[in-house]
Amino acid sequence: MRARLAASAALVALLAIGTTGCTFITDQATTTKYDPSDGISATIGDIQLENTALVTADGTTASLLINIVNHSAYGVDVNVQYENADKTKVNDSVFVNGNSVKSLGGQDAGKLVLSGIDAPAGSLFPVFFQYGDVTGKQMWLPVLAPNGEYASLAPESTPAP
């Protein structure tokens, strides 16, 4: 009887170790940075740039889709810099109140349009973000076509002269 009980206990212990053994050496998925949508994210000081992407119909103008989260108590101007097709640096800025979120590019949000660029849908386009004296980051933003949920988010195309 004791031998049976000991064998059963050993079998249960081996099954428990065998079925959970990989969790001892595998990272939890929740500890790794994950962007759950089509855009990408970055952190610059107290600012988080979330779900950042571009939407374009013609590859020469694109709407910036972004949620800027300001974790500080003070409002900041977030600088947005990109290079157009003529290799000229273009600077823009977005003011974000303290302890708040500023969304751009959505249906009910403000717009920031990048003009004169060479960024067809399916490519990556470099945009530099920075504020105050905090070191900025260049992000390679995915360029999306105005399909599905993005259908109405592309800027209107400018007619050729």
Domain assignment present for 132: yes
Domain span at 44: 35-150
Residue 140, CA distances (Å) to 18, 151, 154 in order: 42, 22, 18
Q: Tell me: the pLDDT tens digits for 4-44? A: 766 677 767 666 666 665 555 666 656 666 676 789 999 99
Domain assignment present for 60: yes
Domain assignment present for 30: no
Domain assignment present for 93: yes
Domain assignment present for 26: no
Q: Tell me: the pLDDT tens digits for 74-89? A: 999 999 999 999 999 9
Residues contacting residue 41 through CB under 8 Å, at least 6 positions apart: 33, 35, 48, 49, 50, 51, 52
Say if residues 39 and 142 touch (Cβ distance below 8 Å).
yes
Domain assignment present for 140: yes
Domain assignment present for 12: no
Q: Say which CATH number the domain at 134 has.
A: 2.60.40.1890
Tell me how many domains the chain contains: 1
